[in-house]
Amino acid sequence: MRFPVKTISLAVVSALLVFGCGKEAPKQQAAAPQTPAAPPPLMVVKIGHVGPLTGGIAHLGKDNENGALLAIDEANAAGISLDGKKVTFELVREDDQADPKIGNTVAQKLVDAKVVGVVGHLNSGTTIPASSIYNQAGLPMISGSATNPALTQQGFKNVFRVVGRDDQQGPAVADYLIGQFKPKTAAVIDDATPYGEGLANEVEKKLKEAGVKVLPREKGTDKTIDWKAVLTKIKGKKPDVVFYGGMDATGGPLLKQARELKIAATFSFGDGGCTDKMAELAGAAAEGMVCSQAGIPVQAAGRKFLDGYKAAFKIDPILYAPFTYDATHLLIAAMKKADSSDPAKYLPVLATISHDGASGNIQFDDKGDRKDAEMTIFAMKGGKIAPIAIIKSGKSMTVDEYASAGAAAQPAAAPAAMSGMGGMAGAPAEKK
């Protein structure tokens, strides 16, 4: 059947008009704005730190912890990526109370917490047994203060230290005593810890080699504060010098009681007793005491570290903080170079690294000991420990000479800031 074209056209128009009078066609819904994808979460890399945060040497433990914290804060501020991922570093802090049993417990706790490296411990007596736990877990550890040679003589490839050893420190302080005071008789006392006894052994050995008569060894413990029985025994022997291997918490009372008993000998100590706290504990009796440190003095540390520590903690560093600061930065530098926080990947890098830190250039020998570590001799003057000689590569320098020579890799404290410290009488002659 055929319809006229006009009829069809009218029908189509009519249909369109009818449709237009009805509901409007639904509009296409606009696409909802897409929420920007959240940035990938930061990868958290945990580094452990252990030291005594309670007890008689908590001030030294906190000093160590502060050094590590400062390094962590600096690394996070720098914005570091590993294997293409942004990293935030976290310091997991533990208190070993300078007790080997507690030290082992917290060492295992750090392993279980999945830290990728450890800075610590402070004492040789806690560091040595804990190092076995870290070795079994394959965790790199760096001590900024444990000086007993046994630490790095175990054959562990994961163990390092950024200070010198007692078999370097002991002869250094003994040489100073021999050269300056020319003793005929010496008394040696220790606190029966691996640190104190080990250092005392080295001093005694050097004194005997020089022909000094050394009295039978006397001992206390790392908690002894009543030394009168020991001191009464040596008083009658009239020693010219007395060396104590132990920490300031026990060394201070020893020195104070010695002067109360009218013992006139020159008293000397290792790094554990080489702090201003000795003046607090011993009072005027501390004046003139001699001590040593297995590293550079705090005053000679890099300016960036010194200024950063003071700004962060509102106090000056005490003793080992530059070394724990360097130890923490060393772990991070090795991770950056290996582009991984996996201990198995960055440990070989750490073993061969060369790092310029607050305490100078750091490289390790095949045992994990710091190459060519400095030794410093101090004396108590006006209630403050003042460095009087720094020994490096067998050469003895005053602090001013050391600073002027630019021995530290980073700019050290200006010589003017240490004026008067390097010119004290009795600096040892250069060793041949």
Domain region containing 217: 167-293
Higher pLDDT, 396 or 125: 125
pLDDT confidence tier of residue 39, bands split at 50, 70 and 90 = low
Region 113-125 average pLDDT = 97
Alpha-carbon distances, residue 252 vs 2, 98, 330 (angstroms) = 124, 18, 34
Q: Are 332 and 286 within one domain? A: no
409 found inside a domain: no
Q: Are 146 and 171 within one domain? A: no
72 found inside a domain: yes
**Do residues 250 and 224 lie in contact, with contact meaning Cβ atoms separated by under 8 Å?**
yes
pLDDT digits (tens, 9 = 90+) for 266-286: 999 999 999 999 999 999 999
Q: Is the pLDDT of residue 68 over 80?
A: yes
pLDDT digits (tens, 9 = 90+) for 208-254: 999 999 999 999 999 999 999 999 999 999 999 999 999 999 999 99
Q: Is the pLDDT of residue 260 over 70?
A: yes
424 found inside a domain: no
Alpha-carbon distances, residue 16 vs 12, 72, 281 (angstroms) = 6, 75, 105
Region 107-111 average pLDDT = 98
Higher pLDDT, 10 or 354: 354
430 found inside a domain: no
346 found inside a domain: yes
DSSP 356-390: EETTEEE-B-TTSPBTT--EEEEEEETTEEEEEEE
Give me the pLDDT at residue 42, please. Answer: 76
Q: Are 310 and 202 within one domain? A: no
Q: Which of 284, 210, 279 is nearest to 241 (CA)?
A: 210
Q: Are 53 and 142 within one domain? A: yes
Region 146-153 average pLDDT = 95
Q: Are 173 and 155 within one domain? A: no
Region 64-86 average pLDDT = 96
Q: Is the pLDDT of residue 16 over 80?
A: no
CATH number at residue 206: 3.40.50.2300
Which amino acid does the sequence have at 85?
K
DSSP 281-328: HHGGGGTT-EEEESS--GGGSBHHHHHHHHHHHSS---SSHHHHHHHH
Q: Is the pLDDT of residue 166 over 80?
A: yes
**Do residues 50 and 113 lie in contact, with contact meaning Cβ atoms separated by under 8 Å?**
no
Read off the tokens for 159. 């163990």
| 212: exposed, middle or buried (Cβ count in 10 Å: 0-12, 13-18, 19+) | buried
Residues 141 and 343: their CA atoms lie apart, in Å, by: 10
Q: Are 180 and 284 within one domain? A: yes
Q: Is the pLDDT of residue 33 over 60?
A: no
Q: Are 59 and 203 within one domain? A: no
2 found inside a domain: no
Please count the structural domains in the chain.
2
Phi and psi dihedrals of 218, rounded to 5?
A: -110, 150
Average pLDDT, the chain: 87
Residues 361 and 156: their CA atoms lie apart, in Å, by: 23
Q: Are 275 and 338 within one domain? A: no
Q: Is the pLDDT of residue 299 over 90?
A: no
129 found inside a domain: yes
246 found inside a domain: yes
Q: Which of 306, 260, 299 is nearest to 386 (CA)?
A: 299
**Do residues 57 and 296 lie in contact, with contact meaning Cβ atoms separated by under 8 Å?**
no
| Tokens 């501020």 found at | 77
Region 348-356 average pLDDT = 97
Q: Are 218 and 267 within one domain? A: yes
Domain stop point among 308, 336, 362:
362
Least confident of 312-326, 334-348, 381-395: 381-395
**Do residues 164 and 293 lie in contact, with contact meaning Cβ atoms separated by under 8 Å?**
no
Domain stop point among 293, 320, 337:
293
Give me the pLDDT at residue 427, please. Answer: 33
